[in-house]
Amino acid sequence: MRIFVIANQKGGVGKTTTVLNLGASLAQKGKKVLVIDLDPQANLSSGLGFTKQFDKKSWNNTEEVPYKSIYDVLINQTPISEVFVTTNDPNLFLVPSHLSLAGAEIEMVNILARETLLKNAISEFKEDIDYVLIDCPPSLGLLTINALTAADDLIIPIQCEYFALEGLGQLIETTKLIKGINPTLTIGGVILTMFDSRTRLSTNVVEDVRKYFSEKAFNTVVPRNVRLSEAPSFGQTIFEYDNASTGAQAYKELAKEFIKRF
């Protein structure tokens, strides 16, 4: 079992889209994949079709039926084996998030060894899994630190946009600090996302990233593709939603490269 953290404290760079569709593509290729939604926004959970149930008995039908999430794993020491759910693909499993995770960072402050809560939970999970992919919130707070501490490799998605490299220094500094508790953590790869071939800017970002990260950057570049942004609202992966789209093709190529590398 190899554990990957997909992180970049910059918001909206394609972390969740990558965990979802890279995860789904790896699963289609026969790998057993566990994706963990560590973001209180829970976009990964809903994007995979995980829907909260609402209590039909309550008057206005807005009472959420309680379910166990990554919050319980971190705060209540609930084993991952009691929290993970199956998805449409028998090889793909999800640990869902919950809005309550938004308060978890504050609750964790009083817990001893608060940086290793996720690491410990994953190490007790004995299912036969090839890859764990952890989706992080856009910050370098305790949730992301837990993911960096648990992981073998850091994967950084970078959006082909203005200021793409801004803030990366901070992420790399944090990674160096984490090496105190997780000495083997390395940058496993960099994924360029939302590439727009019509703009000079996108091409410049690709060049800069390749110069800076050299072979760490994956050859596959994910294009800007509206189908990728539409699919999650139907709770579908890009392969279920539009298997012929350029987005689907890119994530398939990326999965091939990923398996070769890891």
Ligand X SMILES: Nc1ncnc2c1ncn2[C@@H]1O[C@H](COP(=O)(O)OP(=O)(O)OP(=O)(O)O)[C@@H](O)[C@H]1O
Q: Contact residues for ligand X (CB under 6 A)? A: 11-17, 39, 43, 138, 193-194, 222, 224-226, 228-229, 247
Instruction: Say which residues have a Cβ less than 8 Å from residue 215's Cβ, sequence separation at least 6.
Output: none
Instruction: Using the minimum distance from each CB to Mg ion, give the nearer residue, 12 or 66.
Output: 12
Tell how strand 131-135 and strand 153-159 pair up.
Answer: unpaired
Beta bridge partners of 85: 94
Minimum CB–partner distance for residue 228 and Mg ion (Å): 13
| Alpha-carbon span 41 to 32, nearest angstrom | 25
Work out whether 15 is an interface residue with Mg ion (CB under 5 A).
Answer: yes
Minimum CB–partner distance for residue 195 and Mg ion (Å): 19
Minimum CB–partner distance for residue 56 and ligand X (Å): 31
Pick what 13 binds: Mg ion, ligand X, none; C-beta below 5 to 8 Å, kind-dependent: ligand X
| Alpha-carbon span 64 to 46, nearest angstrom | 15
| Alpha-carbon span 24 to 221, nearest angstrom | 17
Pick what 69 binds: Mg ion, ligand X, none; C-beta below 5 to 8 Å, kind-dependent: none
| Alpha-carbon span 46 to 56, nearest angstrom | 20
Work out whether 98 is an interface residue with Mg ion (CB under 5 A).
Answer: no
Instruction: Say which residues have a Cβ less than 8 Å from residue 83's Cβ, sequence separation at least 6.
Output: 68, 69, 70, 72, 73, 95, 96
Closest CA to 23 of 93, 119, 128: 93
Instruction: Using the minimum distance from each CB to ligand X, give the nearer residue, 158 or 185.
Output: 158
Minimum CB–partner distance for residue 100 and ligand X (Å): 17
Pick what 40 binds: Mg ion, ligand X, none; C-beta below 5 to 8 Å, kind-dependent: none
Q: Identify the helix (H) or strand (E) that includes residue 46.
A: helix 43-47
Minimum CB–partner distance for residue 38 and Mg ion (Å): 10
Tell me which stretch binds Mg ion (CB under 5 A): 14-22, 150-158, 227-235, 236-244. 14-22
In this structure, the number of other CB atoms found within 10 A of the CB of residue 164 comes to 23
Three-class DSSP category at 142: helix
Q: Identify the helix (H) or strand (E) that includes residue 189.
A: strand 186-193
Pick what 189 binds: ligand X, Mg ion, none; C-beta below 5 to 8 Å, kind-dependent: none
Minimum CB–partner distance for residue 206 and ligand X (Å): 14
Instruction: Using the minimum distance from each CB to ligand X, give the nearer residue, 69 or 193.
Output: 193
Instruction: Using the minimum distance from each CB to ligand X, give the nearer residue, 96 or 138.
Output: 138
Pick what 222 binds: Mg ion, ligand X, none; C-beta below 5 to 8 Å, kind-dependent: ligand X
